[in-house]
Amino acid sequence: MPSVLRVFALSLGFSFIGTLAGAYVPASLFLPLSILELVMLVAAFFLRRRKAVSYSFLYIFTFISGITLYPIVAHYLATAGANTVIMAFGTTTTVFTGISIYASKTKRNFSYLGGFLMAALLAMVAISIFNIFWPLSSMGMLAYSFIGVMVFSGYILFDINQMKRYGVSAENVPLMALSLYLDFINLFISILRIFGILSKND
């Protein structure tokens, strides 16, 4: 598991570099990059039984993910300020660290959460698609974001606990790091959205 956490931390570094690079990417490229990111993600998880995810794949994916994250971060920098973004990142790091420590120390088995989390994630995807055509109200988006915090916190608990109980083979380290990266980034986006909405209501 220490290897997974090291690779995960390096993945966040690539994502951060990608976010900085996003400032120089033409707006017309964000949609194609988002589609590429989705295709890579689907390929990683649906083909994982046949072939392990490589380190180069992981770092390229997280770099692209950082670029596509830029418009979201830039939006909240402009509307809520840098303090809100920094506070959201700090909160995400604290929550991630706290849950990770608990999940790695507890003797409880959280395997049963897998089905619930997948169902909740699919429901969130459906709501996000609905939101494109019929935008949620501020309170609706706040509730959606709180659900996101619970779901992705649950995924951190589930993933770390599974790694602790069943171990991680050397070839699966990049895939496990990718799972943690997705947990972290989605938790960050949910928390950032909450802070952004609350800052507007102050």
Nearest C-alpha neighbor of 104 from the set 180, 44, 29, 48: 180
The domain locations on the chain are 2-201
If you search the block for the tokens 């570094």, which residue do you land on?
A: 13
**DSSP sequence for 75-91:** HHHHHT-HHHHHHHHHH
* pTM strictly above 0.85: yes
Q: What is the pLDDT of residue 133?
A: 87
* Amino acid 87: pLDDT: 96
Ordered per-residue pLDDT tens for the chain, 202 residues: 788 999 999 999 999 999 999 999 999 999 999 999 988 888 887 766 556 678 999 999 999 999 999 999 999 999 988 999 999 999 999 999 999 999 988 888 898 888 899 999 999 989 988 888 888 888 999 999 999 999 999 999 999 998 988 888 888 899 899 999 999 999 999 999 999 998 876 5
How far from 159 is each of 11, 52, 138, 144, 199, CA to CA, in Å? 17, 17, 31, 22, 32
Q: Please say whether the beta carbons of 41 and 10 come within 8 A.
A: no
